[in-house]
Structure 1
């Protein structure tokens, strides 16, 4: 009987928490999406075969966006460059680097026809221990960190593109106001 009451209490608690989270509008991270107005997009890059370009195309496919060839009437993401820099955070007693910080940055421009273009930067920072006694493991760890940072940057780019929705809405409202304020004689 005690087990039954315990299970019932746990189930009630889970239902209560779920309903509270649902009522406050909580959504899991990753629910950012590209504006609904953008159903197809072209991707151009400084290097069409780079990892970041492939990851961005993958993220767009996950958001159900069709990838098309560049055209003047199709939105475009142009990846202008990426960079990886590092700096020493701490030193061992023998003045060798003990901990390093890696900064990954990707710059890109989103161009939407009739709206214009906007430049963005996605930046990721990670730190890791730099053990000089394990050089092979250190380089493998560094490569894994860089790949992870590229993946997170591609996701961050999708979140940044979600901000375009407000700009598109503002542009459409502006166009609507201009159309309604234009006299009938000026339209013809």
Structure 2
């Protein structure tokens, strides 16, 4: 009896979740014509690698060329702005801004030309310079992953219209 009630509860929860349209984050409904894409990059290898992994994970075949869509990563830029200072005048907090300019092409015609932006706050402490440098590197890698997610989300949104 106890097993039956647990099974019934599990089925009810599953039906409720599927009925409300719940989807895992990063799980996109790809348009039917977006089965393959060529990736051309003039930016950092790290961002190109993140973008390729994101495409493959989403079910898009990354090809060298052909009649498929072409994603051109044109430029990326990391800026650092001061947000606050310590009483001594040293920087206490930075804002990191990461921008990626890209184009989506089909048959050498530009379909989408946009910029993806990611911003993060970063607290600095000169007493822990080595640890803070490593933390900043990890934060920049996270920002690249977020930028690749935003790019794919914008492309899927544009092609689904």
* 2:60 aligned partner: 65
Higher mean C-alpha displacement, 22-31 vs 76-85: 22-31
* 1:153 aligned partner: 147
Higher fraction of helix: 1
Higher fraction of strand: 2
Distance 2:59 2:77 in 1: 28
What is the total number of aligned residue pairs between the two structures? 161
* Deviation readout 1:139-166 (Å, 9 max, x if unpaired): 1111110011111111221111111333
Shift of residue 113 of structure 1? 3.2
* 2:100 aligned partner: 106
With normalisation by structure 1, the TM-score equals: 0.73
Distance 1:132 1:143, change over 3 A: same
* 2:138 aligned partner: 144
> Paired residue for 1:51, among 40, 46, 49?
46
* 1:32 aligned partner: 28
Shift of residue 67 of structure 1? 1.9
Distance 1:8 1:68, change over 3 A: closer
Shift of residue 20 of structure 1? 3.3
Structure 2: segments with no counterpart, 5+ residues? none
SS of equivalent residue, structure 1 residue 133: helix
Shift of residue 90 of structure 1? 1.4
Higher mean C-alpha displacement, 109-118 vs 84-93: 109-118
* Deviation readout 1:121-179 (Å, 9 max, x if unpaired): 22111112100111111111111100111111112211111113334xxxxxxxxxxxx
Structure 1: segments with no counterpart, 5+ residues? 168-188
CA root-mean-square deviation: 2.6
Max Rg structure: 1
SS of equivalent residue, structure 1 residue 25: coil
